[in-house]
Structure 1
Amino acid sequence: MIFCNKKQGLFVKTGDGILSLLEVQSENAKRMDIKSFLNGNEIETGIVLK
C-alpha cells in the first residue's frame, strides 16, 4: 500500500514496516528525487502494488 503526501514524501508499506522513498526511476527515464517526481505525477494514496 502507498501513502503519498507532496510535502512529506512517498511511503510504501511492506510486510516488515514502511519505506520512505527518497528517489525513484520510471521505466526508460532518469532517476529523480521524490519531490520532483511528485510535482509531475499524481500518486493515489492507498493503491496496492502487485
Structure 2
Amino acid sequence: MQLKHVDSPWFVELHITLWHVDIHCLVTCHFPLLFTFLSIFILLCRS
C-alpha cells in the first residue's frame, strides 16, 4: 500500500530547517555552558 503524498514539501522543509536550527543552537548555545559547568565541577572536585 502506497501512502498518499499528504505531507506538503514546505512543511517537510520547515521541519528539517527547524531541526537544523535546533541542532545548531544546541551546539553553539548549550555546549559552552555545559563545558563551563564541567570545568567548574572538575575544579571543585580537585580542591
Fold agreement, TM-score > 0.5: no
Q: Which has the higher helix share?
A: 2
Larger radius of gyration: 2
